[in-house]
Amino acid sequence: MIIRCIAVDDEPLAVKKISGYIQKTPFLELVAECRSAFEAMEYLDKNDIDLIFLDINMPNLNGMEFVKSLINQPHIVFTTAYSDYAVEGFKVDAVDYILKPISYSAFLKAAQKVKKLIELETNESRNESIKITKEHLFVKSDYKIVRIELNDIKYIESDHAYIKIHLVNSKPVMTLISLKNVEEQLPPEKFMRVHRSFIVNLNKISVIERERIIFDGNVYIPISEQYKNKFQEYLEKNILN
């Protein structure tokens, strides 16, 4: 597997360092260096890529604003000198963010996270571990096949190579499958993806606050920019005016 990457940073030394790290990593391919978000935007209009290593603090259009403008978002790893962007980065589905000055070990760790995600997304054989009907699903978990009623699911969480199915009255069930493959099989009138890492049961939502869905009073699921419009449409159809 080769992951096509671009490095985006307005600082020449910073973009050269990231480019050098990309070229040093066997499963990454550097396809472009961009000195601004606008330059990256122009490149994305004409080319397909898998991953952007992206600075946040850039003039005119910063990295966060750039990501929010993307319709088909590649994987994002933020490169920044400021740690206070972590929460905002999570909201736009960034895989990771690494702090400057960036060591190769920190860079490689972030790159490996992306590699794992892409392997899950492209491995269609994961479908064999889950079967879904209109009322229930069967999953392989701990060498057993477990039946789960769809109405008992609160939300589904991506957990590295697994998904964790959180239930109303019992402990979560884990199984080896990508969140994307589960999303494709679940009934869309009942379930909606609201973040790269979360699918929620629409019938179990009771509290929404500050672009977060709250379960059990202490579980906060963010609604990311990529899925915000679709979720807002659902709310508008169901809110009493």
Domain range annotation of the chain: 3-122, 125-238
Comparing 231 with 196, the larger pLDDT belongs to: 231
Which residues contact residue 86 at a Cβ distance below 8 angstroms, ignoring those fewer than 6 apart?
97
How far apart are the C-alpha atoms of 107 and 102, rounded to whole Å? 7
Q: pLDDT tens-digit profile of 46-70?
A: 887 899 999 998 999 899 999 988 8
Topology annotation, domain 3-122: Rossmann fold (3.40.50)
Give me the pLDDT at residue 129, please: 62
Q: Are 64 and 88 in contact (CB under 8 A)?
A: yes
Q: Are 44 and 73 in contact (CB under 8 A)?
A: no
Helix (H) or strand (E) holding 90: helix 86-91
Q: Angle at CA 151, nearest 5°, toward 136 and 93? A: 95
Sort residue 77 into left (φ over 0), alpha (ψ -120 to 50) or beta.
Answer: beta
Give me the pLDDT at residue 222, please: 86
Q: Are 157 and 198 in contact (CB under 8 A)?
A: yes
Dihedral sign (CA 202, 205, 207, 211): negative
Please compute the mean of the pLDDT values over residues 137-165 and round it to a whole number. 88
Q: In the structure, what pLDDT confidence band is assigned to residue 143 with cuts at 50, 70 and 90?
A: confident
Q: pLDDT tens-digit profile of 63-101?
A: 999 998 887 789 999 998 877 765 566 678 889 989 999
Average pLDDT of the chain to the nearest whole number: 88
Please say if the pLDDT value at position 194 is more than 80.
yes
Copy the structure tokens of residue 176. Answer: 């080896």
Please say if the pLDDT value at position 124 is more than 80.
no
Q: Tell me the whole-structure pTM to 2 decimals.
A: 0.61
- Could you tell me which CATH number the domain at 125-238 has? 2.40.50.1020
Q: Are 75 and 51 in contact (CB under 8 A)?
A: yes
Q: In the structure, what pLDDT confidence band is assigned to residue 241 with cuts at 50, 70 and 90?
A: low
Q: Are 172 and 149 in contact (CB under 8 A)?
A: no
SS3 77: strand
